[in-house]
Amino acid sequence: MTIQEELQDAPVKKERTRFSGILVHPTSFPSPYGIGDLGKGAYDFIDFLKETGTHIWQVLPLGPTGFGDSPYQGPSAFAGQPLIISPEKLLEKGLLKKEDLENIPEWNPRCIDYGPAIQYKTSLLRKAFENFRHTPDKTMLEDFAQFTTEQADWLEDYALFMALKDEHEGRCWLEWDKKYIDPSPAEKKKIAEKLSSQVRYYKFIQFIFQQQWNDILAYAHKNDVEIIGDAPIFMSLDSADVWANKKYFQLDSKGFPTRVAGVPPDYFSATGQLWGNPLYDWDYMKKTGYRWWIERVRRQLSLVDHLRIDHFRGFEAYWSVPADEETALNGKWVDGPKEDLFLALTDALGGDLPIFAEDLGVITPEVEALRDRFELPGMKVLQFGFGDLNDTSYIPHFYTTPNCICYTGTHDNDTTAGWYRVQPEVIKDRIRRYGNTDGGRISLDFIRFAFSSIAKYAIFPIQDLLMLGSEARMNTPGVPAANWCFRYLQSDLTQERREWLAQTTQLYNR
């Protein structure tokens, strides 16, 4: 019996209350262009989700990346990632020619080499822009004009910011010529006219991203797949958002941060973690009715169905460190906006907020109360539960509410196979007895644990379905290099994997 026949024979669900999903960023998709994109690999993945009865696709932040190629340190809270624009789709639109895609460099199909990939993709995008400048396609030009008008609130500043970064060879805006650091609206207009070609290029790139992503989102919905997006709580200092909205952040008169983000010392680090992101001026944001945050969430929810917000505990209280400190040791807890922000979001966006709370780490009762007041699903990570003999909160049979997401691991964890390999024998023995397993396919066992839980959502990184080891890890926190580069091959999604996932999904009514 085929997968499709098995799923057809399954009981029809009147209303789905249990979901399963896969965490994989578009950069990881198969593609001949050095980095995953929104072309064939993305559509094949959605087909795979449909075929296996999987209804959730979770991504990392969809914005352009910054330092270290991290999607959590980008230059915009609103823009899309140019690197995942599909060259094949540009060819279909007449924005590239066949000869533009004939001499494709040879790439490692399992790992992104960001430097050369950025150069190659940017060269294609520049060619596409040149062709766009001379296009006779009136419909495309009208769509572009409509897009730039509708998204002007963020797009104008972003495109100008990126054009100015090009003018200053990529340097942080604090190192720019003085006249560009804090221009008035009238001065911005003059600068934009002077740099009109570059500004238009960055607007064009966002227009193309939007078109390609809209097509992907529509295809996902057509196949009964919902997408979970991701938003970092803090912004990079070197971002259009900070440059254009200095009053929203704790900066001095010259634009330098006065206090920065981090987390305090804990069991894992005697000096804490110093992230260095500028902190919000929540008092000022409150005076504006939290407009920037409302527009940020509104924008993201136009791209995805649900939004995971990173470091949720920072809304209740955040660790504030003087900007001149070398570690996070001398920080202090400062109250965040608490329920005020979420009441404003609820009023502006209406109804229940489709937000997931990243509530990992040391979470206080106050943080839990804030999460629960707005009925936001929290996160349960199996590796955390099974890796600590004294922690029961992440073990499935201790869950007290289905309003949560059970993960085998996240993008910051090792793969489950890699994690299990280095665990002490007492942990391995506990897991084997818990799952009545020999541990030979431990990542599949963990997926089964997640699926069998009462959690409404059960999600796993694609690496765990493929039973990959530590070589396939997406990110290692605190390590500045060799992150975010994982890719898989279409051939990895074998018939055996497809059948196992379809049968397991059906077994646990996901």
Tell me the one-letter amino acid at 79: A
Nearest residue to 302 (alpha-carbon basis) of 150, 137, 156, 149 = 150
User: Residue 390: which pLDDT band, with cuts at 50, 70 and 90?
Assistant: confident
Phi-psi region of 69 (alpha: psi -120 to 50; beta: other; left: phi over 0): left
Residue 279 lies in a domain: yes
Q: With residue 434 as reference, give the H or E element that holds it.
A: helix 425-435
382: Cα separation from own chain's centroid: 21
Residues 6+ apart with CB under 8 A from 331: 262, 264, 272, 319, 320, 321, 322, 325
Number of H helices, E strands in the chain: 20, 12
Residue 234 lies in a domain: no
**Mean pLDDT score, 467-475:** 97
pLDDT of residue 122: 98
What confidence score (pLDDT) does residue 104 get? 96
The pLDDT of residue 9: 53
Residue 415 Cα to chain centre, angstroms: 18
> Does 70 fall in a domain?
no
Sole residue written with tokens 């902190």: 279
Mean pLDDT within 442-449: 98
Q: Give CA 143 to chain center in angstroms.
A: 27
- Spatial strand order in the sheet of 332-335: 273-278, 259-263, 317-322, 332-335
Residues 6+ apart with CB under 8 A from 126: 201
* Predicted confidence (pLDDT) per residue in 321-352, tens digit: 999 999 999 999 999 999 999 999 999 998 89
For position 407, what pLDDT does the model report?
98
Q: Cα(436)–Cα(445) distance, rounded to whole angstroms?
A: 9
* CB neighbours of residue 467 within 10 Å: 17
Buried b (16+ CB within 10 A) or exposed e, 211-245: bbbeebbeebeeeebbbbbbbbbbbbbbbbbbbbb
* 418: nearest Cα among 387, 442, 398: 442
Q: Decide if 10 is inside a domain.
A: no
pLDDT in tens, 229-249: 999 999 999 999 999 999 999
Q: What is the mean pLDDT of residues 93-99?
A: 97
Place of tokens 């644990």: 449
Tens digit of each residue's pLDDT (9 = 90 or more) over 51-71:
999 999 999 999 999 889 999
- Two tokens at 500? 């196992």
Q: What is the pLDDT of residue 13?
A: 43
Report in angstroms the alpha-carbon separations of 414 from 95, 381, 473: 40, 12, 5
Q: Is the per-residue pLDDT at 374 higher than 80?
A: yes
User: In whole angstroms, what separates CA 115 from the centre of its chain?
Assistant: 21
CA distance 223 to 145: 31
Residue 224 CA to residue 237 CA, distance in Å, equals 38
Q: Are 64 and 415 in contact (CB under 8 A)?
A: no
Catalytic positions = 310, 358, 412
Q: What is the structure's pLDDT at 389?
A: 78
In a domain, 481, yes or no: no
Which residues neighbour 386 within 8 Å (Cβ) at sequence distance 6 or greater?
Answer: 394, 395, 427, 430, 431, 434
DSSP letters for 344-388: HHHHHH-SS--EEE---SS--HHHHHHHHHTT--EEEEHHHHHH-
Structure tokens given for 357: 């709370």
Give 203-227 pLDDT, tens digit per residue: 999 999 999 999 999 999 999 999 9
Token readout for 142 is 């009208």
pLDDT at 43 over 80: yes
What's the CA gap between 308 and 232, in Å, rounded? Answer: 9
Q: Per-residue pLDDT tens for 160-201?
A: 999 999 999 999 999 999 999 999 999 999 999 999 999 999
Residue 157 lies in a domain: no
DSSP conformation class of 257 = B
In a domain, 302, yes or no: yes
CA gap 177, 126 in Å, rounded? 26
Torsion sign across C-alpha atoms 470, 496, 25, 37: positive
Segment 447-458 shows an average pLDDT of 98
Domain count within the chain: 1
Enter the DSSP assignment of 275.
Answer: E
Per-residue pLDDT tens for 248-307? 999 999 999 999 999 998 766 788 889 999 999 999 999 999 999 999 999 999 999 999
Which of 66, 90, 447 has the alpha carbon at shortest distance from 277? 66
Per-residue confidence (pLDDT) for residue 391, from 0 to 100:
79
Lowest mean pLDDT segment, chosen from 30-39, 267-276, 414-423:
267-276
Do 430 and 382 meet the contact criterion of CB atoms below 8 Å apart?
no
Computed over every residue of the chain, the mean pLDDT equals: 95
Query: Given this model, what pLDDT does residue 254 score?
Result: 95
Determine, yes or no, domain membership for 336.
yes
> Following DSSP, what letter does each residue of 441-484 receive, concatenated?
THHHHHHHHHHHSS-SEEEEEHHHHTT--GGG-S--TT--SS-S
Where in the sequence is the domain holding 262, given as residue range(s)?
Answer: 245-376
Q: Are 483 and 476 in contact (CB under 8 A)?
A: yes
